[in-house]
């Protein structure tokens, strides 16, 4: 700005002072009244200028963003980038005029300039934050970034931005160089102490992202924290999980790398969801099959070919190696439990909801005082939870109802009614 313009500004800045002096007011009071009035008028003018400029910039930005195909500028508007940016021009104008307005009060001028500088630093941080938020929201719309912990990276950058801003403010207020190694060492110790959890979370966020441990949208089960649901947010400090009862659980991010939890993503990406259930068979109901029982079981279509094939094998073996066939324990004979296991296996192979290309097995587990566990192990095509439970329930329902057809009994602990019947 030219010297002539500056002289004109100074003339109007001290016009009230000259006016009061001409009226015979004490020079000290004249200076004070002049300062109060000029600052008030200037503050009102700057406020109105800031208000009008902000509205103009926001409206122009909105009009521009509506005409462009990119959505990034839309996110800039949503994150208040135009609003924050509009404050810079009035602040710079104020910063220029303050030394003129407070020319007669240098100590007050120094304080006001310091406050303006601090405000400019904070405003720049908010502008950086709005840009980072816009970048995050824009990237979240892209398919390859939807499951990435972008919040963690944004928060890390913001921590550095606030750290730099804080050091600049301290340096400005104290006139102490932050380039000193001792200062940086002390500051680092304080930062590490204060932001210990944040630093751990940052390291964990990098490990989670690089090792692809958790993504947004994954179904995880973390029993230690009562979490069982879908990951909705991953940030620097916590992972947010929406449980199936619509409650939310927050888990410290670094616990995802230090504790054990279950991620169901592998199941969702595979070709089937595992079904693993067992039925307890009463041991005393297990017996060898007589010829009459075999003929009776041949009425069950799924195992008729198996019974005929096994009967030929056992008859051939017994005729060749067994002398006394009056007792079924002599030689090779089938049991009703073995036939039931074969039936369960055949039933699973015939079930259209079961993926036969994946592992499928019916087996016995270790016998206990509660009976013999007959376990089914297979995978359903449908992995949606509700459908999966219906498929599993239909299989168990059918097998439980089928047990009695093989002269077997399901083990149950006796209830009050059982004791009363005796």
Residue 165 forms part of a structural domain: no
Whole-number mean pLDDT of the chain?
79
- Can you give the C-alpha Rg of the chain in angstroms? 40
| Residue 14 shares a structural domain with residue 140 | yes
CA-CA distance, 322 to 324, in Å (whole number)? 6
**Among candidate residues 246, 269, 292, the one where a domain is terminated:** 269
Residue 167 forms part of a structural domain: no
Span 263-278, average pLDDT: 85
**Among candidate residues 242, 269, 296, the one where a domain is terminated:** 269
Span 230-252, average pLDDT: 86
Q: Is the pLDDT of residue 77 over 90?
A: no
Which span out of 9-13, 58-62, 202-206, 379-383 was modeled with the highest average pLDDT? 379-383
Query: Residue 235 maps to which CATH number?
Result: 2.30.30.60
| Residue 250 shares a structural domain with residue 294 | no
| Residue 10 shares a structural domain with residue 137 | yes
Residue 261 forms part of a structural domain: yes
- Residue 1 has what pLDDT? 47
| Residue 135 shares a structural domain with residue 30 | yes
CA-CA distance, 332 to 220, in Å (whole number)? 50
Q: Count the residues in the chain.
A: 422
Span 194-209, average pLDDT: 68
How many structural domains are present in the chain? 3
6 or 297: whose pLDDT is higher? 297
Q: Determine contact, residues 281/378, Cβ cutoff 8 Å.
A: no
Residue 7 forms part of a structural domain: yes
- Residue 3 has what pLDDT? 46
Residue in 383, 380, 418 with CA at minimum distance from that of residue 396 = 380
pLDDT band at 362 (very low <50, low <70, confident <90, very high): very high
Domain that holds residue 186: 147-158+172-269
**From residue 91, how far is each of 87, 95, 161, 224, 293 by CA, in Å?**
6, 6, 20, 51, 98
Element spanning 227, H or E: strand 227-234
Residue in 72, 80, 92 with CA at minimum distance from that of residue 54 = 80
| Residue 306 shares a structural domain with residue 207 | no
| Residue 67 shares a structural domain with residue 128 | yes
| Residue 142 shares a structural domain with residue 227 | no
Phi and psi, residue 279, nearest 5°: -120, 135
By mean pLDDT, which of 121-125, 171-175, 190-194 is the weakest?
190-194
- Angle between the 15-22 and 3-13 helix axes, to the nearest 10 degrees? 40
Phi and psi, residue 139, nearest 5°: -70, -30
| Residue 14 shares a structural domain with residue 138 | yes
CA-CA distance, 104 to 222, in Å (whole number)? 67
Q: How many CB atoms lie within 10 A of CB 321?
A: 10
| Residue 242 shares a structural domain with residue 284 | no
CA-CA distance, 229 to 213, in Å (whole number)? 16
Residue 163 forms part of a structural domain: no
- Angle between the 106-140 and 150-174 helix axes, to the nearest 10 degrees? 170
pTM of the full structure: 0.51
Is the alpha carbon torsion for 229, 230, 234, 240 positive or negative? negative
CA-CA distance, 56 to 95, in Å (whole number)? 22
CA-CA distance, 114 to 53, in Å (whole number)? 24
Contacts of 344 (CB under 8 A, 6+ apart): 362, 374, 376, 399, 402
Residue 304 forms part of a structural domain: yes
**Among candidate residues 254, 269, 284, the one where a domain is terminated:** 269
- By percentage, how much of the chain surpasses pLDDT 70? 77
| Residue 349 shares a structural domain with residue 383 | yes
Phi and psi, residue 368, nearest 5°: -130, 180
Residue 164 forms part of a structural domain: no
Q: Determine contact, residues 396/279, Cβ cutoff 8 Å.
A: yes
pLDDT band at 168 (very low <50, low <70, confident <90, very high): confident
- Residue 56 has what pLDDT? 85
Q: Determine contact, residues 362/354, Cβ cutoff 8 Å.
A: no
Contacts of 94 (CB under 8 A, 6+ apart): 42, 46, 116
Q: Strand, coil or helix: what is 245?
A: coil
- By percentage, how much of the chain surpasses pLDDT 90? 19
Angle at 131 between CA 129 and CA 136, to 5 degrees: 95
Q: Is the pLDDT of residue 183 over 70?
A: no
| Residue 137 shares a structural domain with residue 192 | no
Residue 405 forms part of a structural domain: yes
343 or 181: whose pLDDT is higher? 343
Which long-range contacts does 148-152 make (Cβ < 8 Å, 24+ apart)?
Answer: 148/209, 148/215, 148/216, 149/205, 149/208, 149/209, 149/216, 149/234, 149/235, 151/233, 151/234, 151/235, 151/236, 152/201, 152/202, 152/205, 152/209, 152/234, 152/235, 152/236, 152/253
| Residue 259 shares a structural domain with residue 348 | no
């Amino acid at each position: 700005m030219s010297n002539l313009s500056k002289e004109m500004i100074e003339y109007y800045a001290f016009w009230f002072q000259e006016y009061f002096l001409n009226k015979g007011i004490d020079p000290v009071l004249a200076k004070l009244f002049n300062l109060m009035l000029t600052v008030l008028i200037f503050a009102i003018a700057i406020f109105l200028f800031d208000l009008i400029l902000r509205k103009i910039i926001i409206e122009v930005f909105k009009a521009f963003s509506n005409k462009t195909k990119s959505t990034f500028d839309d996110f800039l508007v949503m994150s208040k980038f135009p609003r924050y940016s509009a404050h810079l021009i009035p602040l710079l104008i104020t910063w220029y005029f303050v030394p003129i307005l407070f020319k007669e009060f240098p100590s007050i001028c120094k304080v006001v300039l310091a406050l303006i500088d601090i405000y400019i630093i904070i405003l720049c941080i908010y502008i950086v934050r709005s840009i980072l938020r816009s970048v995050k929201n824009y990237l979240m719309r892209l398919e390859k970034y939807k499951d990435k912990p972008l919040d963690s990276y944004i928060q890390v950058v913001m921590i550095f931005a606030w750290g730099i801003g804080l050091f600049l403010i301290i340096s400005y207020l104290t006139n102490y160089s932050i380039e000193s190694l001792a200062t940086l060492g002390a500051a680092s110790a304080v930062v590490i102490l204060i932001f210990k959890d944040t630093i751990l979370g940052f390291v964990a966020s990098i490990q989670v992202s690089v090792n692809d441990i958790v993504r947004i949208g994954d179904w995880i089960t973390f029993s230690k924290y009562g979490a069982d649901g879908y990951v909705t947010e991953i940030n620097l400090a916590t992972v947010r999980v929406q449980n199936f009862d619509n409650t939310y659980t927050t888990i410290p991010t670094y616990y995802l790398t230090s504790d054990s939890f279950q991620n169901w993503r592998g199941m969702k990406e595979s070709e089937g969801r595992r079904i693993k259930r067992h039925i307890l068979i009463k041991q005393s109901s297990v017996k060898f099959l007589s010829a009459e029982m075999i003929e009776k079981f041949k009425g069950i279509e799924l195992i008729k070919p198996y019974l005929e094939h096994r009967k030929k094998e056992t008859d051939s073996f017994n005729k060749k190696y067994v002398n006394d066939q009056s007792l079924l324990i002599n030689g090779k004979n089938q049991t009703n439990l073995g036939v039931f296991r074969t039936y369960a296996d055949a039933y699973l192979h015939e079930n259209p909801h079961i993926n036969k290309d994946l592992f499928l097995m019916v087996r016995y587990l270790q016998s206990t005082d509660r009976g013999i566990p007959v376990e089914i192990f297979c995978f359903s095509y449908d992995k949606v939870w509700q459908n999966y439970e219906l498929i599993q329930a239909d299989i168990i329902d059918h097998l439980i109802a089928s047990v009695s057809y093989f002269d077997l009994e399901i083990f149950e602990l006796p209830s009050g009614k059982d004791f009363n019947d005796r």
